[in-house]
Amino acid sequence: MILRFLPIALLFFLFSCGDQGKHEFNPPEGYKARSGKLIYKKHCVSCHGDDGKLGAAGAKDLTASKMDSTGIVNILEKGKNGMPRQIQYFESDEEVTNIIDYLNSMRK
């Protein structure tokens, strides 16, 4: 009997595991976007370090990255290797742009 419901349970699980794609922002009226530096200090510094070179828990050296904006957004939305998705920490598209600009400014 359980085997009969297993495929249904698997489908339910796959669809309920959610939206790993494009994140929709809905900032409140009057919201002022945070700087990329502020977002980095709050959510990234523990693994990537103040200068982007720390590499804790396998974190990549951000100063050596050649990733474009699309790649960065993809990692924010889906995560990569040991890095979990981070998009839930952003309040607007402007904040995503701000972190991309800040990460690009760290490059050698």
Dump pLDDT digits (tens) for 25-65.
988 889 999 999 999 999 999 999 999 999 898 999 999 99
Please count the CA atoms within 13 angstroms of the CA of 30 that sit on its side-chain side: 0
Domain spans of the chain? 34-108
pLDDT greater than 90 at residue 4: no
Q: What homologous superfamily does CATH list for 34-108?
A: Cytochrome c-like domain (1.10.760.10)
Query: Which pTM was predicted?
Result: 0.76
